[in-house]
Amino acid sequence: MRLLLISDTHVPKRARDLPQQVWDEVARADVVVHAGDWVEPSLLDTLHARSKRLVACWGNNDGAELRARLPERADVVLGGLKFTIVHETGAATGRDARMAKAYPDTDVLVFGHSHIPWDTTASTGLRLLNPGSPTDRRRQPFCTYMTATVHNGVLSDVRLHRLERRDA
Protein backbone atom coordinates (compact mmCIF):
# COMPACT_ATOMS: atom_id res chain seq x y z
CA MET A 1 0.00 0.00 0.00
CA ARG A 2 1.56 3.29 -1.13
CA LEU A 3 0.96 6.31 1.11
CA LEU A 4 1.27 10.02 0.41
CA LEU A 5 1.68 12.17 3.55
CA ILE A 6 1.03 15.91 3.34
CA SER A 7 0.15 18.72 5.72
CA ASP A 8 -0.07 22.48 5.96
CA THR A 9 -1.14 23.04 2.38
CA HIS A 10 -2.66 26.48 3.14
CA VAL A 11 -4.36 26.68 -0.27
CA PRO A 12 -5.07 29.33 -1.56
CA LYS A 13 -3.28 31.56 0.96
CA ARG A 14 0.28 30.22 0.45
CA ALA A 15 -0.19 28.77 -3.04
CA ARG A 16 -2.96 28.73 -5.61
CA ASP A 17 -2.82 24.94 -5.80
CA LEU A 18 -0.69 21.96 -4.86
CA PRO A 19 2.45 21.53 -6.96
CA GLN A 20 2.04 19.18 -9.94
CA GLN A 21 4.57 16.79 -8.38
CA VAL A 22 2.21 16.34 -5.41
CA TRP A 23 -0.80 15.79 -7.70
CA ASP A 24 1.25 13.13 -9.50
CA GLU A 25 1.83 11.42 -6.14
CA VAL A 26 -1.90 11.64 -5.36
CA ALA A 27 -2.56 9.65 -8.54
CA ARG A 28 -0.02 6.96 -7.51
CA ALA A 29 -1.05 6.69 -3.84
CA ASP A 30 -3.43 4.10 -2.47
CA VAL A 31 -4.04 6.40 0.51
CA VAL A 32 -3.48 10.15 0.89
CA VAL A 33 -2.98 11.33 4.48
CA HIS A 34 -3.42 15.07 5.20
CA ALA A 35 -2.55 16.37 8.69
CA GLY A 36 -4.49 19.63 8.62
CA ASP A 37 -4.28 23.31 7.74
CA TRP A 38 -6.17 23.13 4.48
CA VAL A 39 -7.49 26.71 4.89
CA GLU A 40 -10.25 26.42 2.23
CA PRO A 41 -12.72 23.55 1.68
CA SER A 42 -12.18 23.54 -2.09
CA LEU A 43 -8.86 21.69 -1.74
CA LEU A 44 -10.54 19.06 0.45
CA ASP A 45 -13.18 18.55 -2.25
CA THR A 46 -10.59 18.26 -5.03
CA LEU A 47 -8.25 16.00 -3.06
CA HIS A 48 -11.17 13.77 -2.05
CA ALA A 49 -12.26 13.47 -5.68
CA ARG A 50 -8.75 12.70 -6.98
CA SER A 51 -7.64 10.31 -4.20
CA LYS A 52 -8.33 6.60 -4.08
CA ARG A 53 -8.71 7.06 -0.32
CA LEU A 54 -8.25 10.16 1.84
CA VAL A 55 -7.63 10.15 5.60
CA ALA A 56 -7.42 13.62 7.13
CA CYS A 57 -7.93 15.95 10.06
CA TRP A 58 -8.36 19.69 10.50
CA GLY A 59 -5.70 22.13 11.68
CA ASN A 60 -5.61 25.36 13.63
CA ASN A 61 -6.01 27.49 10.47
CA ASP A 62 -9.12 25.63 9.35
CA GLY A 63 -12.47 27.30 9.85
CA ALA A 64 -15.90 26.06 10.84
CA GLU A 65 -16.77 24.36 7.53
CA LEU A 66 -13.60 22.23 7.50
CA ARG A 67 -13.96 21.45 11.19
CA ALA A 68 -17.52 20.28 10.55
CA ARG A 69 -16.34 17.93 7.79
CA LEU A 70 -13.10 16.60 9.32
CA PRO A 71 -12.14 15.21 12.73
CA GLU A 72 -9.55 16.80 14.99
CA ARG A 73 -7.99 13.33 15.24
CA ALA A 74 -8.29 10.60 12.60
CA ASP A 75 -7.54 6.98 13.46
CA VAL A 76 -7.25 4.32 10.78
CA VAL A 77 -5.69 0.88 10.30
CA LEU A 78 -3.68 0.68 7.08
CA GLY A 79 -1.88 -2.49 6.08
CA GLY A 80 -2.06 -3.83 9.61
CA LEU A 81 -0.72 -0.68 11.33
CA LYS A 82 -2.74 1.78 13.38
CA PHE A 83 -2.23 5.35 12.18
CA THR A 84 -3.31 8.46 14.05
CA ILE A 85 -3.43 11.77 12.21
CA VAL A 86 -3.44 15.03 14.18
CA HIS A 87 -2.30 18.54 13.41
CA GLU A 88 -0.48 19.73 16.52
CA THR A 89 1.85 17.89 18.88
CA GLY A 90 3.41 20.77 20.82
CA ALA A 91 7.08 21.60 21.26
CA ALA A 92 9.77 19.49 19.61
CA THR A 93 11.56 19.00 22.93
CA GLY A 94 10.25 15.83 24.52
CA ARG A 95 7.81 15.20 21.65
CA ASP A 96 8.59 11.48 21.24
CA ALA A 97 7.97 10.58 24.88
CA ARG A 98 4.94 12.90 25.16
CA MET A 99 3.28 11.46 22.05
CA ALA A 100 4.09 7.86 23.02
CA LYS A 101 2.25 8.48 26.29
CA ALA A 102 -0.66 10.27 24.56
CA TYR A 103 -1.07 7.61 21.84
CA PRO A 104 -0.10 4.28 23.46
CA ASP A 105 -2.07 2.16 20.98
CA THR A 106 -0.86 3.93 17.82
CA ASP A 107 1.88 2.57 15.58
CA VAL A 108 2.38 5.66 13.39
CA LEU A 109 1.54 9.27 14.29
CA VAL A 110 1.32 11.69 11.35
CA PHE A 111 1.25 15.36 12.31
CA GLY A 112 1.83 18.82 10.92
CA HIS A 113 1.70 22.42 12.16
CA SER A 114 5.41 23.31 12.29
CA HIS A 115 6.11 22.88 8.54
CA ILE A 116 9.32 21.18 9.71
CA PRO A 117 9.83 17.61 8.49
CA TRP A 118 10.17 15.08 11.31
CA ASP A 119 10.86 11.36 11.34
CA THR A 120 11.65 9.72 14.66
CA THR A 121 10.76 6.60 16.59
CA ALA A 122 9.90 6.78 20.28
CA SER A 123 11.30 4.22 22.72
CA THR A 124 7.88 2.51 22.67
CA GLY A 125 8.14 1.96 18.91
CA LEU A 126 5.74 4.78 17.95
CA ARG A 127 6.88 6.27 14.62
CA LEU A 128 6.34 10.03 14.39
CA LEU A 129 6.16 11.60 10.92
CA ASN A 130 5.69 15.22 9.88
CA PRO A 131 5.83 15.68 6.10
CA GLY A 132 6.44 19.43 6.31
CA SER A 133 4.52 21.54 3.79
CA PRO A 134 4.39 21.25 0.00
CA THR A 135 3.43 24.92 -0.36
CA ASP A 136 4.89 26.94 2.54
CA ARG A 137 8.49 26.18 3.47
CA ARG A 138 8.67 28.88 6.16
CA ARG A 139 12.25 28.75 7.46
CA GLN A 140 13.00 25.42 5.79
CA PRO A 141 15.21 25.25 2.67
CA PHE A 142 12.53 23.36 0.70
CA CYS A 143 8.83 22.65 0.57
CA THR A 144 8.33 18.95 1.31
CA TYR A 145 6.02 15.95 1.46
CA MET A 146 6.52 12.26 2.33
CA THR A 147 5.74 8.92 0.75
CA ALA A 148 5.82 5.52 2.43
CA THR A 149 4.80 1.93 1.93
CA VAL A 150 2.95 -0.27 4.40
CA HIS A 151 2.64 -4.01 3.94
CA ASN A 152 1.79 -6.79 6.39
CA GLY A 153 2.14 -4.52 9.40
CA VAL A 154 5.47 -3.03 8.34
CA LEU A 155 6.05 0.60 7.42
CA SER A 156 8.91 0.97 4.94
CA ASP A 157 10.35 3.20 2.27
CA VAL A 158 9.56 6.36 4.26
CA ARG A 159 10.93 9.09 2.05
CA LEU A 160 10.99 12.87 2.37
CA HIS A 161 10.62 14.58 -1.01
CA ARG A 162 11.87 18.11 -1.62
CA LEU A 163 10.12 20.47 -3.97
CA GLU A 164 11.73 23.37 -5.75
CA ARG A 165 11.29 26.63 -3.88
CA ARG A 166 7.93 28.24 -4.45
CA ASP A 167 7.28 31.90 -3.96
CA ALA A 168 3.64 32.03 -2.99
Q: Which of these, 78, 133, 135, lies nearest to 108 by C-alpha position? A: 78
Taking a C-beta distance cutoff of 8 angstroms, is the pair 128, 151 a contact?
no
Enter the pTM of the model: 0.95
Q: Is the pLDDT of residue 167 over 70?
A: no
> How many CB atoms are closer than 10 A to CB 38?
26
Per-residue model confidence as pLDDT tens digits over 89-147: 999 999 999 999 999 999 999 999 999 999 999 999 999 999 999 999 888 899 999 99
Residue 13 pLDDT: 86
Phi, psi dihedrals of residue 134, rounded to the nearest 5°: -80, -5
Per-residue model confidence as pLDDT tens digits over 150-164: 999 999 999 999 997
- Domain 2-163 sits in which CATH superfamily? Metallo-dependent phosphatases (3.60.21.10)
- CA–CA distances in Å: residue 89 to residues 47, 113, 122: 24, 8, 14
The structural domains of the chain, with segments of one domain joined by +, span 2-163
% of the chain with per-residue pLDDT over 90? 92
Taking a C-beta distance cutoff of 8 angstroms, is the pair 159, 11 a contact?
no
Residue 165 pLDDT: 56
Q: Is the pLDDT of residue 59 over 50?
A: yes
- CA–CA distances in Å: residue 78 to residues 11, 55, 69, 106, 107: 27, 10, 21, 12, 10
